[in-house]
Amino acid sequence: MTTRITSENDLDYSEQPARRSVVPETKSAFRTTELAVYVLAVLGVLIAAAVTNRNDGEAGFDAQHAWLYVTLLTVGYLISRGLAKSGSGNRRDA
């Protein structure tokens, strides 16, 4: 004996397990423009430090300042990624 379904209302969905997506809400770091901007900014700071001459007695852009700026850029990047992920949960948590 076969059962004939006459409308979609006759379907029983209670027996079927619910489907869940396992895709995270935020993008991975490699897929964001933040990473590209960060890398370009670090390269810009390091290149500027390399090509800037510092003569005695003049304020210049030396390696110590360059690495300080790279550290600040890194902290800013880490904070921005943390903020991007802090408010979003993983869909597996639901």
Whether 73 is in a domain gets the answer yes
Tally of structural domains, the chain: 1
CA geometry: angle at 45 spanning 71 and 78, to 5°? 35
Parent domain of 61: 24-85
Whether 1 is in a domain gets the answer no
Whether 15 is in a domain gets the answer no
Instruction: Report the C-alpha gap between 62 and 65 in whole angstroms.
Output: 6
Q: State pLDDT tens for residues 34-88.
A: 888 999 999 999 998 888 866 665 667 788 899 999 999 999 998 988 887 776 6
pLDDT for residue 52: 83
Residue 75 φ/ψ region, left for φ over 0, alpha for ψ in the -120 to 50 degree band, beta for the rest: alpha
Whether 3 is in a domain gets the answer no
Whether 4 is in a domain gets the answer no
Whether 2 is in a domain gets the answer no
